[in-house]
Amino acid sequence: MTPVIRPRRLRSTAALRRLVAETTLAPRHLVLPMFVADGLDAPREISSMPGVLQHTVDSLRKAADEAVCAGVGGLMLFGVPDEKDKDATGSGADADDGVLNRALRVLTDDLGDDTVLMADTCLDEFTDHGHCGVLDAAGRVDNDATLDRYVSMSLAQARSGARLLGPSGMMDGQVAAIRAALDDAGFTDTGILAYAAKYASAFYGPFREAVGSSLQGDRRTYQQDSANRIEALREVRLDLDEGADIVMVKPAMSYLDIVRDVAEISDVPVAAYQISGEYSMITAAAERGWIDRDAAILESLTSIRRAGASIILTYWATEVALRLS
């Protein structure tokens, strides 16, 4: 039998495939997460994330400049304080001389509006218990007391030059509290990239090393259950109602259905975070010769774009931006 309809025609050459490609990936879609740490004399590779570094301020400046020159859409900064500077309330998070706020000021001076400078707005790196908020007398994360700390942290980050703040703690009402505080303080142009649907995940493991986490227990009372889908849309709608400028799904690759769901209801841009464990499993498999590293990276990022994300946080941002340029 001779077929009448031949879809393979449009796949017959590389030029044809490029012409009809439905999903594009460009440097502007990519955001580079970066770690800056106190107490280092030189940048230090994260053992569970080969190729990713904890930076000194000097190496951060160099890597940030390289990323911007490659055309990435933005930079997301995480601070890693000395262990001795951690405490129960994460006081280093909003201290003017805290590692993250110092780094924000340096990059603001270096880069200005040549990129979009973002800051992780969460306490977990700065607390001695490793949770994303303040604990009550029973050892539970106190939602409303934590909001006060997020507000103070947000204002410190805005003063330090962050253009987008990334509240990632999944506290109820966090976007509304931060938006109101920013507006009251005159930071009406400072935006919020809300971690709107953030799931408790086994794939965060390498990140815990990256930020020197002091976590005791887990975060399942505030991060979402991986079994739930409708709950994610409720969280996203709440963040939209509270004034989020961008909403994000985290992790990305195991939650592409959620990325698609969010893209279908959101009237603001949708981001997705290709997290540490996703980076590490591709890297490890490639190191063993089990997969084609470069092809797997591009395929994974394209799948996130195809699902509906217009912004992707990925540790390969600079590398892929250079390949796409």
In the prediction, which pLDDT does 139 show?
86
Question: pLDDT per residue over 129-162, tens digit each?
Answer: 888 889 999 989 999 999 999 999 999 999 999 9
- Average pLDDT (89-110) is 96
Residue 62 annotated to the active site = no
State the pLDDT confidence band at 215, using cuts at 50, 70 and 90.
Answer: low
C-alpha span between 325 and 165 (Å, rounded): 28
Tell me which residue of 129, 59, 126 sits closest to 99, measured CA to CA.
Answer: 126
C-alpha span between 78 and 31 (Å, rounded): 13
Question: pLDDT per residue over 229-264, tens digit each?
Answer: 999 999 999 999 999 999 999 999 999 999 999 999
**Domain map (residue ranges) of the chain:** 25-324
Query: What residues contact 255, with CB distance under 8 A and at least 6 apart?
Result: 197, 199, 249, 272
Q: Are strands 116-121 and 53-55 parallel, antiparallel or unpaired?
A: unpaired
Write the DSSP assignment of 32-62 as a string of letters: EEEEEETT-SS-EE-TTSTT-EEEPHHHHHH
In the prediction, which pLDDT does 220 show?
72
C-alpha span between 60 and 65 (Å, rounded): 8
In the prediction, which pLDDT does 11 show?
96
Considering the candidates 62, 84, 86, 250, report the single residue annotated as catalytic: 250
264 class by beta-carbon count within 10 Å (0-12 exposed, 13-18 middle, 19+ buried) = exposed
Task: Report the predicted TM-score, pTM, of the whole model to 2 decimal places.
Answer: 0.95
Kindly report the CA angle at 220 between 250 and 316, in degrees rounded to 5? 25
Considering the candidates 62, 84, 86, 198, report the single residue annotated as catalytic: 198
Helix-, strand-, coil-residue percentages of the chain, each rounded to 5:
45, 15, 35
Q: What SS3 state is found at 288?
A: coil
Query: What residues contact 119, with CB distance under 8 A and at least 6 apart?
Result: 76, 77, 100, 104, 157, 160, 162, 164, 165, 166
Residue 171 identity (one-letter amino acid): M
| Most confident of the ranges 70-74, 79-83, 141-145 | 70-74
- Average pLDDT (16-25) is 96
DSSP letter assigned to residue 12: S
Query: What residues contact 268, with CB distance under 8 A and at least 6 apart?
Result: 240, 244, 245, 246, 247
Residue 250 annotated to the active site = yes
Question: pLDDT per residue over 177-204, tens digit each?
Answer: 999 999 999 999 999 999 999 999 988 8
Give the containing element (helix H, strand E) for 321: helix 317-324
In the prediction, which pLDDT does 224 show?
87
Query: What residues contact 131, with CB distance under 8 A and at least 6 apart?
Result: 123, 124, 141, 215, 216, 217, 219
- Average pLDDT (306-319) is 98
Give the containing element (helix H, strand E) for 184: helix 174-184
Write the DSSP assignment of 81-150 as a string of letters: --GGG-BTT-GGGS-TTSHHHHHHHHHHHHHGGGSEEEEEE-STTTBSS--SS-B-TTS-B-HHHHHHHH
| φ, ψ of residue 235 in degrees (nearest 5) | -60, -40
| Number of neighbours of residue 201 by Cβ within 10 angstroms | 20
CATH code for the part of the protein at 25-324 = 3.20.20.70
Residue 183 identity (one-letter amino acid): D
